[in-house]
Chain A
Amino acid sequence: MQADDDIPEAVAVPPRRARFSPIWIVPILAIVVAIGIAWDRLASEGPTITIIFKSADGIEAGKTFVKYKEVNIGQVTAVRLTDDTQNVEVTARIAKSASALMVEDAHFWVVRPRISLSGISGLSTLISGNYIGFEAGTSAKKGRQYVGLEVPPIVTGNTPGRQFVLQSKDLGSLGIGSPLYYRRLPVGQVVAYDLAPDGSSVQIRVFVSAPYDKYVVRDTRFYNASGVDVSLTANGLDVRTQSLVALLEGGIAFETPLGYASSSQASSETVFPLFHDRVTAMKVDESIATRYVLYFQESVRGLSTGAPVNFYGVAVGEVTDVGLFFDPKTLNVKPRVEVVLYPERVVAQLPTGQGVRLQAMVEQQVTRRDFMQKLVEQRGLRAQLATGSLLTGQRFVSLAYFPKASRTRLDWTQAPAELPTTISTLPEIEEKLGRIIDKLEKVPLDGIADDLRKALASLDETLREARSTIQRFDTDVTPSLKSALDEARGALGAAEKVLTSTETNLVGPGAPAQADLRNAMQELGRAARSLRVLADYLERHPEAIIRGKTAEPMPK
């Protein structure tokens, strides 16, 4: 056992100060702040996306931004060639705030300055450098790999409005960005075009921005408003233009025919035909159309496809084909004109009450045919060619009643049925004129001219003879005439003398011989007048001396 002294003394440890110095708040605060920053950084770290471009023109890592609505949403972090070295792969870090926008069908494109007739865009990139434009998609799926667009989309996805598809035979002068007009107001643009999958037509995608998209209804017609449209029709010369921009780079206009404006709005992506011009587009779409064929016995020159078919001046149809017809039985080739008639156009021209009745009648094929048959067989409805404009020679088909026309039957078994024709009025006039000309031709103008020449020659001879006669008359007759006249004058002088001598006894007042003398004097005056007339006549018609006075009237 050990002595008590060996018991060691307990170690007295002074109580450790566990006091918490307030100074430690400073580093704790610093740590909190640092963690906060780190957290913030990590949280704001958006997704990294890659975009494939054909060329990295103007794209620089660390300098090129991705902008959405002109707001930076990301920055290009790397630019490198793709593995096949054909394209450029651009890696961009997108801000956390925009990460929700990075969906599958989002689009990227490089914004460069672009100058076109319809405007200048991206001008700011001239000094700020190119940037990558972005358009959000509608998909819900996230996307990280994108293929960049070469051409920026014209209309960004969230611009209110609707897209429609137009089908056309060809593109014409349209292009992306070509304006779309409604009442000459630019309301949209062509956003894309492509060949139809079978290559038979062109599909043009147009965007109509709100609120104008509500004017696109199911019966709206789209037509080409490109450039100047000059058409020469039976109606005359027609010139139409849209705005100057449309004139220069083409455009599309749309319009709804009267009476259809209240039809329901067209849904997005509706396919419309693109008409070549406004006239074609605005023709009311007739659901009832009856086709007829016309065989003419005269020239159909000046009649073209699309020419109107008028019923007493009211358009009721149009010419669909102009050609020839060969009848193998008679070995006859004659002009053939196919027309289509729209009975509803007739209905549209009627007063309201009557229109309903006729509409009901034309809607049924049986009643419609019956009606037409009555018109043709009983009233004598005939088709004839008419001239729309004498200047241009454009012709149209005119329908009119010819009650005197020979009876004919409307044969519905043929398709299309033949509508009887009658010779046009203009050829009738032509025929009459022709007949007159024919008669004129029969006149022996050559013989007449020959005779006339002969007559003139003989007249010439006669005149020559007359001249010689007059000369003879001058030498032979005139002197004797002169002496005769002298004698007459002498006789007159003597008579005067006698008169003066007898005045006192004979002519004086109350003289008995005065009356006799006056009578004699009057007789003498008459004789002198006759002589003067004779002299005059002889002077003008010397031949009268030989031939005597002819019966023909004196020339005036």
Chain B
Amino acid sequence: MTSAAARGLVSCSECALVSRPAAANAPGYCPRCGQKLEFRRENAIERTWALLVAATVLYVPANLLPVLATTTVVSSADDTIMSGVIYLFASGSWPLGLIVFIASIVIPIGKIVALGYVLITVQRNAQANDRQRTRLYRIVEFIGRWSMLDVFVDTYIVALVQLSPLMSVEPGPGVPYFMAVVVLTMFAAMSFDSRLIWDRSTHAG
């Protein structure tokens, strides 16, 4: 089974209409919906890599900088994501801790690792596990938005707990970095062209 591109055809990324390209270099526009046609997304791998690297770099400050500064009359504490998770586990609310742990630590790392794995396999022309890799990519794309959970929790708490002067909660400097990580991984997932997985596939689906 061959792909449309292999047969000199191009499929629209918008409405999936398969059409003949206007020229080999410039496929032109979709006759049905007017979307600019591409055999494969331009520089998809490079772009994904770039965003992924940026996300990986920013993941470090996102986890080291505090995301929540709690000030009460008796104390003031800065919590990073990890210290918050530890606190939740230690204080007994482990289900909540587990949710935060998965949403804020497992998912971002999983996304980065998964995307990296997919990219590497594509670049190496790996031909195995095409379906699994595609499923992985699908999961990454779907789950992306949910890793903003931590930021949502932050915003809720900051908005709710304003009992100044008794207690106040301020977002920490780590929040923007964490948001950047989430957004960058989402962009990375979007900029990747999943058709690349199949380009070298021998899979007879």
Query: Which residues of A pack against B, CB within 8 Å?
Result: 21, 23-24, 26-27, 29-31, 33-34, 37-38, 62-63, 127-129
Q: Is the CB of B54 within 8 A of A30?
A: yes
Closest to B187 in A: A26
Instruction: Determine the chain B residues whose CB is within 8 A of the CB of A63 once the complex forms.
Output: 75, 77
> Chain A nearest CB: distance from B43 CB in Å?
5
Bound form: Cα–Cα A51–B187 in Å: 51
> Chain A nearest CB: distance from B200 CB in Å?
19
Bound form: Cα–Cα A467–B65 in Å: 138
Q: Is the CB of A33 within 8 A of B58?
A: yes
Instruction: Determine the chain B residues whose CB is within 8 A of the CB of A37 once the complex forms.
Output: 61, 65
- Does B30 sit within 8 A of A, measured CB to CB? no
Instruction: Determine the chain B residues whose CB is within 8 A of the CB of A129 once the complex forms.
Output: 74-75
> Chain B nearest CB: distance from A263 CB in Å?
52
- Does B50 sit within 8 A of A, measured CB to CB? yes
- Does B46 sit within 8 A of A, measured CB to CB? yes
> Chain A nearest CB: distance from B17 CB in Å?
28
Instruction: Determine the chain B residues whose CB is within 8 A of the CB of A29 once the complex forms.
Output: 54
Q: Is the CB of A34 within 8 A of B58?
A: yes
Q: Is the CB of A30 within 8 A of B180?
A: yes
Q: Is the CB of A30 within 8 A of B58?
A: yes
Q: Is the CB of B61 within 8 A of A23?
A: no
- A21's contact among B46, B74, B75, B77, by CB below 8 Å, is which? B46
Q: Which 9 A-B pairs have the closest CB atoms?
A: A30-B54, A27-B54, A27-B53, A30-B57, A23-B50, A26-B54, A23-B47, A37-B61, A34-B57
Instruction: Determine the chain A residues whose CB is within 8 A of the CB of B54 once the complex forms.
Output: 26-27, 29-31
Closest to B47 in A: A23
**How does the 8 Å CB contact mask read for B51-63 relative to A, with 1 for contact and 0 for none?**
1011101101100
Query: Which residues of B pack against A, CB within 8 Å?
Result: 43, 46-47, 50-51, 53-55, 57-58, 60-61, 65, 73-75, 77, 177, 180, 184, 191
Instruction: Given A26-B54, A27-B53, output 5 extra A-B contacts at Cβ < 8 Å.
Output: A21-B50, A26-B50, A30-B57, A33-B57, A33-B58
Bound form: Cα–Cα A21–B4 in Å: 27
Instruction: Determine the chain A residues whose CB is within 8 A of the CB of B177 once the complex forms.
Output: 33
Bound form: Cα–Cα A518–B50 in Å: 178
> Chain A nearest CB: distance from B173 CB in Å?
8
Q: A37-B61, A37-B65, A127-B73 are in contact. Are A21 and B53 (CB under 8 A)?
A: no
Closest to B51 in A: A26
Q: A27-B51, A127-B74, A128-B73 are in contact. Are A34 and B46 (CB under 8 A)?
A: no
Q: A127-B73, A129-B74 are in contact. Are A24 and B50 (CB under 8 A)?
A: yes
Instruction: Determine the chain B residues whose CB is within 8 A of the CB of A23 once the complex forms.
Output: 43, 46-47, 50-51, 191
Bound form: Cα–Cα A29–B60 in Å: 14
Q: Is the CB of A21 within 8 A of B43?
A: yes
Closest to A33 in B: B58
Bound form: Cα–Cα A405–B73 in Å: 87
> Chain A nearest CB: distance from B159 CB in Å?
25
> Chain A nearest CB: distance from B197 CB in Å?
20
Enumerate 15 A-B pairs (CB-CB under 8 Å) in ascending A order: A21-B43, A21-B50, A23-B43, A23-B47, A23-B191, A26-B54, A27-B57, A30-B53, A30-B57, A30-B180, A33-B177, A34-B60, A37-B61, A128-B74, A129-B75
Bound form: Cα–Cα A30–B77 in Å: 27
Bound form: Cα–Cα A31–B55 in Å: 10
Instruction: Determine the chain A residues whose CB is within 8 A of the CB of B184 once the complex forms.
Output: 26, 30
Instruction: Determine the chain A residues whose CB is within 8 A of the CB of B73 once the complex forms.
Output: 127-128
Bound form: Cα–Cα A332–B57 in Å: 109
Closest to A60 in B: B75
